[in-house]
C-alpha cells in the first residue's frame, strides 16, 4: 500500500508538470483529509530499497497464479509508474540541456535510496545515471555524504555490468568524497536524495495534525505472557523504536524468539570507518549543509539544477543565476 501511495502521488506530479500546478500543494491538500493522511504523498523519483518492488511484484505473481489477471496488472502498474517517473525525469534533464549531453558534466547529489542512510540497494539514482549515461556525457559525478565512495563505485559497476566506466581519468562516472570537487565545472546538478545537507529550505508541514502515538496506553503485559499473537508483536515495534523504559522489564528479553542480527563481513567499510576514525557509520562526506553559493560559483554557465526530491528553494537559487527544474512543477527558470 505504501508503494501504491508513492506511485499515486508521482502520477499526479506528471500531470502537475504539464498543467502548471504544484504537486506539493496538491499533496498537502489531499493529505489534509483525515481518511487519507499526508504520509508518503511527496513526489520524487519513486521508491527504492530491497522491499517495495519485490513485494509488489510478488503480490502480482500471486494474483496471476490464482487467475486474477486484472488484479495482477493493477499491481504491476504500481511498479511501471515507478519506472516511468525516472524515465520522465531523465528526459526532462536532456530536454533542458538542449537535447544533448555530449561534452557536458552532470553532478548527482545523493545516491542512497533513502535520505541520511548509506543503503544503496535499488537506488533510484542508479536508474537515472544509467539512462543519462546513454546520452554520452563527458562526466557523471556522484556525491553522497552518507555513502562510502567505494561502495557506490562497486554498485554502479555492477548495475552497468562494466566496472571500467567507474573511476577517474577517461571513465565517464566518477564518485567523489568532496561535494565541491564533484560540482566543479558542472553543467547541471541533480538532487536525487533528500539528504539534510542538500536542503536550502525548510519542509512544509502537512495540513493534517500528526497522529498521536499511544505510548501511555501500551500494555507491558504483552511482553511477558505466553503465545503472543502477530498483532502483539507488531504493537511492540513502536516501543522498541522509542527505547521506552518498559523494555528493561526485569532485564529480560520480551521477545526471546527474535534472532540476533548477523555480524558484518570482516572487511565491512562501515565498521572499518568506525574503528579507524571513530565517526558515525555512513559519514563519508560533508556533515554540514552544503554552501550553494560555492557550488553555483564553480558551475559552468548556463547553470542548471534539477530537484528530484522537492527540497530546493528555486527563488533562492535564482539569485545565484541557477535555473531550477523541480519534479512535480513547471520550471522556475
Contacts of 148 (CB under 8 A, 6+ apart): 118, 269, 270, 273, 282, 284
Using CA atoms, how far residue 246 sits from 56, 76, 226, 250, 257, in Å, is 36, 43, 18, 9, 18
The three grid cell numbers given for residue 280, joined into one nine-digit string: 558515525
Contacts of 139 (CB under 8 A, 6+ apart): 105, 106, 172, 173, 174
Give the pLDDT band of residue 80 (cuts 50, 70, 90): very high
Residue 130 and residue 137 in contact, taking contact as beta carbons nearer than 8 Å: no
Q: Where are the alpha helices (DSSP H) in the chain?
A: 2-19, 23-31, 52-65, 69-96, 124-133, 149-160, 179-183, 221-224, 230-242, 269-277, 292-298, 314-318
Residue spans per domain, the chain: 1-201+289-326
* Low-confidence winner among 18-27, 90-99, 233-242, 304-313 (lowest mean pLDDT): 233-242
Whether 247 shows a pLDDT value over 60: the answer reads no
Convert the pLDDT of each residue in 120-143 to its tens digit.
999 999 999 999 999 999 999 999
Q: What is the mean pLDDT of residues 242-263?
A: 51
DSSP assignment string, 34-47 = TTT-STT---SS--
Using CA atoms, how far residue 257 sits from 218, 223, 253, 254, 263, in Å, is 20, 12, 9, 9, 18
**Whole-model pTM?**
0.77
pLDDT at 129: 96
In the sheet that holds 303-307, the strands lie side by side as 173-175, 139-143, 105-109, 188-191, 303-307, 322-326
Convert the pLDDT of each residue in 173-198 to its tens digit.
999 999 999 999 999 999 999 999 99
**Cα separation, 23 vs 315, whole angstroms:** 17
| 133: Cα separation from own chain's centroid | 20
Give catalytic residue positions: 51
Whether 49 shows a pLDDT value over 70: the answer reads yes
Q: Is 190 strand, coil or helix? A: strand
Give the pLDDT band of residue 332 (cuts 50, 70, 90): low
Q: Is 143 strand, coil or helix? A: strand
Beta bridge partners of 108: 142, 190
Which burial class, exposed, middle or buried, applies to 332 when counting CB atoms under 10 A from its CB (0-12, 13-18, 19+)? middle
Residue 50 and residue 122 in contact, taking contact as beta carbons nearer than 8 Å: yes
Instruction: Report the relative pairing of strands 105-109 and 173-175 from DSSP bridges.
Output: unpaired
Q: What is the mean pLDDT of residues 249-261?
A: 51
Using CA atoms, how far residue 113 sits from 125, 187, 225, 247, in Å, is 7, 24, 39, 31
> What kind of fold does domain 1-201+289-326 have according to CATH?
Rossmann fold (3.40.50)
Amino acid at each position: 500500500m505504501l508503494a501504491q501511495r508513492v506511485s499515486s502521488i508521482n502520477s499526479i506530479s506528471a500531470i502537475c508538470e504539464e498543467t502548471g500546478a504544484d504537486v506539493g500543494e496538491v499533496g498537502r491538500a489531499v493529505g489534509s483529509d483525515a481518511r487519507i493522511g499526508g504520509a508518503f504523498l511527496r513526489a520524487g523519483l519513486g521508491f527504492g530499497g530491497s522491499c517495495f518492488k519485490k513485494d509488489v511484484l510478488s503480490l502480482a505473481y500471486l494474483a496471476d497464479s490464482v487467475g486474477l489477471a486484472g488484479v495482477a496488472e493493477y499491481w504491476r502498474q504500481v511498479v511501471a509508474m515507478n519506472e516511468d517517473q525516472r524515465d520522465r525525469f531523465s528526459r526532462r534533464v536532456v530536454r533542458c540541456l538542449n537535447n544533448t549531453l555530449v561534452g557536458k558534466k552532470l553532478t548527482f547529489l545523493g545516491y542512497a535510496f533513502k535520505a541520511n542512510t548509506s543503503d544503496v540497494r535499488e537506488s533510484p539514482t542508479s536508474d537515472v545515471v544509467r539512462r543519462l549515461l546513454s546520452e554520452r556525457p563527458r562526466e557523471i559525478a556522484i556525491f553522497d555524504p552518507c555513502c562510502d565512495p567505494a561502495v557506490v563505485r562497486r554498485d554502479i559497476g555492477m548495475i552497468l555490468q562494466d566496472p571500467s566506466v567507474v573511476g577517474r581519468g577517461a571513465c565517464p562516472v566518477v564518485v567523489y568524497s568532496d561535494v565541491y570537487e564533484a560540482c566543479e565545472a558542472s553543467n547541471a546538478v541533480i538532487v536525487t536524495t533528500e539528504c539534510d545537507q542538500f536542503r536550502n529550505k525548510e519542509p512544509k508541514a502537512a495540513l493534517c495534525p500528526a497522529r498521536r502515538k499511544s505510548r501511555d496506553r501500551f500494555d507491558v503485559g504483552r511482553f511477558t505472557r505466553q503465545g503472543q499473537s502477530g498483532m502483539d508483536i507488531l504493537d511492540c515495534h513502536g516501543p522498541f523504536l522509542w527505547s521506552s523504559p518498559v523494555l528493561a522489564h526485569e532485564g529480560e528479553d520480551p521477545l526471546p524468539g527474535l534472532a540476533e542480527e548477523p555480524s558484518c563481513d570482516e572487511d565491512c567499510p562501515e565498521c572499518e570507518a568506525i574503528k579507524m576514525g571513530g565517526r558515525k557509520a555512513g559519514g563519508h562526506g560533508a556533515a554540514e549543509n552544503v554552501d550553494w553559493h560555492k557550488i553555483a560559483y564553480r558551475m559552468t554557465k548556463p547553470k542548471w539544477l534539477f530537484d528530484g526530491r522537492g527540497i530546493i528553494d528555486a527563488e533562492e537559487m535564482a539569485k545565484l543565476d541557477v535555473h531550477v527544474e523541480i519534479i512535480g512543477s513547471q520550471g522556475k527558470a
